[in-house]
Structure formats: C-alpha cells, structure tokens
Structure 1
Amino acid sequence: MTVSAADLAVELKLLRRGRGIAAPQLAERAGPALRAVCGASGGDGNAAIRRTLRESLSGWARSLPEDLSTAVLAALGLHPEAVHPFYQDRVRWLARHLQRDDRTARRRIDEGIDRLAEVAVASTSESDDGDVPEPSRRWHTEELRVAVALDQPVPEVLESRRIVADADDISELDLALTLTDSVYRGEAIGSDDLRVDVFHGGRLTGRRMESTDRVGLALRLPRPLKRSSRHEIAMRFRAEFRHPHFVCVPRHPVDLFDLHVRFALPIPMEVVQLERVFQDDASDEAARGFPLTPDASGEIHVKFRHLTPGFAYGVRWRPSSEA
C-alpha cells in the first residue's frame, strides 16, 4: 500500500481524539495508512496494535524538535505526564508545559503531527527500498519566487516555482496554504475566501482542509516527471490577510526562496525578517527578527536559502498607527 504523509496525518488527527492510543477499540480506530506504516496486521487485536503503534510512533517522535515531539506524544496519549482520558485535558497539559495558551498548543500539535507523518512515511519508504527517496524528497523546490501585493483591493500572491523530481513518475504535487489566525478558523475555507488560479504548469485536481486553517492543494502535472527532471509552475492566490505576516513553511525542501512584498500606504512602522522560526511564532512579537526598511515604493526584497521543512521563513510587519 502506498501511503502519503497527508493521508497519514489525517488518520493521526482522528486517533488523538478521546483517549488516543489508549482507546478501548483501537483496532477499529487505527486507519489503513497508520497500520501500513507501523506494520500492524489486519488480524491484530487491540493489545497488539497498541504495542506496535506505541513503539513506532514514539520512535518517530524522538526525531522531531523537542517541543513538537512533546506535543505529538501528549496529543496521542503517549507522554507519561499527559495520560488523560480526554483530548482537551491533554491540550491543557501541553499549554501549561509550553507556557502558552490552548490555541498555540493545538497548533503545535497540528504541526507536530504533520512532521511526524512525514518522518513515518519516509522511514517506511527507506526500509522498503533504499534507492527510493523518502516522500518528503520525492521532489523538492529548486527555486521559489513570490511577489505579495498588499496594496490591492484583495491582497494577491504571485508564485513561480521550479521543482526537481527526486524520483521517477512524479505526477502530482501536494501543496498547501495557511490562512493564519483567519476568521475562518474551525470552518471550511471556501473558494470565495481563498481564490487559487494556475497560470501554467498543471491543473488543480483536489482541495481539502488539512487543519483548522490550512488548505491542501493537489496539482496534477501535464505529464509524469522522471528523476532529476525539472518543471515550472506559476500560480496566484487571493485572500484577506488576517495577521500581518507572510511566511513560507515548506513541507518539501526548498533551495531558494525569493520574496518581494509591496505594502499599502501608510507604510508599516516596523518590518522584520523571520528565518527558521516555528509557524505560530511568526505572529509572536517575542520572536524577534532582522529589521527591514521598505524602499521608496513601499517594497522589501529578501532571499532565503536551503529552507528546512516545517519551519517558517518570511516577513512580519507592524501596521502604522495611521492605518
């Protein structure tokens, strides 16, 4: 069975409900993707599946950054200090542990589960065939150029991306966009809330909510790519910004991220460059960045190289008091 990180993440987010890994009917709750990556047999009972999942998930979690590892283990009921019968209680424990609010704890859990799914699928791929790249390296972005126009009636983002296939038969790209702190939190983000247009390079074939504020996009390529081949795509996104920052949080490696941001008048009183920060820290002014000064046209231009998947890169600004 071929398992995608996105499918596995969905199953893990279902598993975290209630008692998590301690659910009485775990054999019924463990989905096919989770069983596949953990090597659980279809005939295994609750105890056997619980033991298999505990060993596999705990091992993969140890490869994550400490805060994400703790978040995942707590959410799934695997952390010895967070063995609570209800998911909300485990979220509250994590919030206290991180010294953050419950909302931040939930977002850290979402981020951790997404990263855990990538690690799990990658590990499975490597054990099956050492010559097959991990799913997070089935393709990577060689160059990502983004122009953000905040002076339009509805902010627009123009994206030009050149990807490189790290395996054969790459026929679809899994992309995502997050509307951080949006008014749509907890609801589906509709096509009118987030407009997506493909200028060239493929056709959108799927769109789904991956978390409370992240939209997953499936882009079908014109033809399957062979290993080492390159392909260029261009897209436009239109949506209201609900928080004053724009960051790239890659799920696949990115060699170069070139970002232009054009601000509306009045120019923000402060603009900072953010590099390799956690996504939810992008809106936290305690996470300081390198100060930037917009030019005479109200624009800034920054570049980032060798982006690490799962971390945020971009800019944050503080609107002028006249706005």
Structure 2
Amino acid sequence: MERAELVRELKTLRKGRALAGRVEDRVGPALRSACEVSDGDGMVTIRAKVSDRLSELSSQLPEDLRLAALAAFAITPEARQPLYQDRMRWAALRVDRDPRTVRRRVDEAIELLAELALASPASSTPGNWHTLSLTMALVLEESCVFEQHRLVADQDDLRSFDLAVPAGTVLYGGTLSEGTVELPRALSRGESWEFAAVFPAEPKTRLVYLPRHRCEVFDLRVRFGKAGPSEVLALDGAFERDIPDPRYRGRVLQVDAVGEVHLQFRHLTPGLVYGARWADQL
C-alpha cells in the first residue's frame, strides 16, 4: 500500500458529509486495505470499520490533532455537520483557534494517520476483545454502581480482560483483582461472556464511560431519588477535557417521576466520553 495513495483517499473522504454520508464509493482500495474492508461489506459495515480504525489510530495523536481528525471525518457526534467547513468551525471553537489553523492540523493529522496505518496493520492492532453491551446503574441513595459487561473474544484463548474500576463485589462471571477480571475458563474467538459486579460509589456529580475498546451498546441509568437535581446533561461522545468545563452543554435530560434518568448510546467511539453529569458540574 502506498502512503501517498492512502493520504489522497483520506483527503477525499473528509469532504462533504465524510463518514456521516454514503461511503461505499468514497472508501478507496488503500483505505479498504488499511481498515480490512471486504468486498461483501455493506455501507453500515464499511462505515463502522473505517470509523473504528480511524478512531483507534487517532488515539495515538496529540490531543489537538486528534480532535481535528475526529471532526474532519465526522466521527465525533457533535461534529456531524453536512459540510467540511462547518466541522472545521466547530473544531476551531473547541481548541480556540481559527478554522484555517484547524484545517492545517487536519492535513498534519492525515499524514500521521497514514504513517500509523502502514506501521501497524489492522490485523495486528491491540485489542483481543470488545464490548457487546455495557449496562451501568448508579443508585445514589445506596451509594453503589451496578455494572454488567457482555464482551466478545476477538482471539482464541482469552483468559482475562481489564476494567478501569476499583475493588467491588463480583456477582457472577469471574474474579476481580486490581482492575483485571480473570475468567473461569478460556474463551474462543467469537465467543461471548457476561460479567457483573457492584462497586461502591462516592458522592458524585457525574457518571461517565470512556471506552478503550469497541463498544456496541452502553445502557446507563441513574437513580437520584426524591431529591434529584434540577438539570441533568447527557455526554454523548465528548472529549475528556469537556467534562469539567461548565461551558460544555450536552443534551438536557428529564428526570422522571421516581427520580431516574435513562440513556442509551450505540456504536461508541473509543477514546470519547459517554454518560451524564449534574449538580455543580453544570
């Protein structure tokens, strides 16, 4: 695969709606090879493979180049405007730079993405499992968080996986020690497994999930009880630095009659933040 050809195809892909539009005819042979796109893949599969691959590669870039790249290809949910110049204006506001500077950073990011893709073929990228679904429920009255992970092995002989969580009480599916779940038996490639646990929750004003691996579905419930906050905001594919920023405004959620909110996210982008925040984080 020629680097120059991959750069050319990436620059073509960023135009118009980028990955938010129809991609069958806009993902060329070099990009198909870099993202392991097969001849029989349809539009949805092509979009998912290219988006996942570019997200994984972008995670290795400096923060400003990463943001510019995710906006350019319409991977970031908030930057899925139909025109490239609109996405550049959005990114410019996020990094406090003018759009021309951001466009130069996109060019720089594309050059680096091509180099990274050639240096680490998709078949050898890290990640021996992915999350099919994650269910989280925070009960503030009880100061606990319930988590249920349903994962899929992407290689044979998978015996453990990592969780960025403190010590908790395992309900089923393995043992937990220092953030590593040891499975009761090895999994074969394509086999799924469920693990559930309960963790203590300190008084908090947000509950977020930052996937490091591909995640298909994230289902989140927060039970505030009778004394719920006046406003709850959804974080749908935000950047980490947006979380403590009071200027960041996500989608406003309604707390129901029993003091709960329910969110569901699909096809999460690794490296972006999903969840909710409330109270003094607003």
Give the shorter-chain TM-score range: 0.5 to 0.7
2:152 aligned residue: 164
Matched, 1:142 2:132: yes
1:226 aligned residue: 188
2:229 aligned residue: 268
Are the aligned partners of 1:283 and 1:316 in contact in 2 as well (CA < 8 Å)? no
1:201 aligned residue: 173
- After superposition, the Cα gap between the structure-2 partners of 1:141 and 1:133, relative to the gap in structure 1 and judged at 3 Å, is farther
- After superposition, the Cα gap between the structure-2 partners of 1:143 and 1:62, relative to the gap in structure 1 and judged at 3 Å, is closer
CA distance in structure 2 between the aligned counterparts of 1:294 and 1:319, rounded to whole angstroms: 17
Are the aligned partners of 1:261 and 1:300 in contact in 2 as well (CA < 8 Å)? yes
State the percentage of identical aligned residues.
Answer: 42
1:296 aligned residue: 257
Matched, 1:241 2:231: no
CA distance in structure 1 between the aligned counterparts of 2:66 and 2:237, rounded to whole angstroms: 18
Aligned counterpart in structure 2 of residue 256 of structure 1, from 217, 220, 228: 217
2:64 aligned residue: 67
Deviation at 1:285, TM superposition (A): 1.9
Amino acid at match of 2:196: A
Amino acid at match of 2:200: R
More off after superposition, 195-204 vs 222-231: 195-204
CA distance in structure 1 between the aligned counterparts of 2:241 and 2:195, rounded to whole angstroms: 28
Give CA deviations for 1:104-127 in whole Å, capped at 9, x if unaligned.
xxxxxxxxxxxxxxx98x98764x
Amino acid at match of 2:232: V
- After superposition, the Cα gap between the structure-2 partners of 1:195 and 1:220, relative to the gap in structure 1 and judged at 3 Å, is closer
TM-score under structure 2 length normalisation: 0.57
Deviation at 1:319, TM superposition (A): 5.7
Amino acid at match of 2:193: H
What SS is found at the alignment partner of 1:280? helix
What SS is found at the alignment partner of 1:176? coil
Q: How many residues align?
A: 182
CA distance in structure 2 between the aligned counterparts of 1:272 and 1:296, rounded to whole angstroms: 17
Q: Which runs of 5+ in 1 are unaligned?
A: 1-59, 71-97, 100-118, 178-193, 208-216
CA distance in structure 1 between the aligned counterparts of 2:148 and 2:59, rounded to whole angstroms: 35
Deviation at 1:280, TM superposition (A): 3.4
Matched, 1:176 2:173: no
Q: Which runs of 5+ in 2 are unaligned?
A: 1-56, 68-94, 97-114
Q: How large is the RMSD of aligned CA atoms in angstroms? A: 3.1
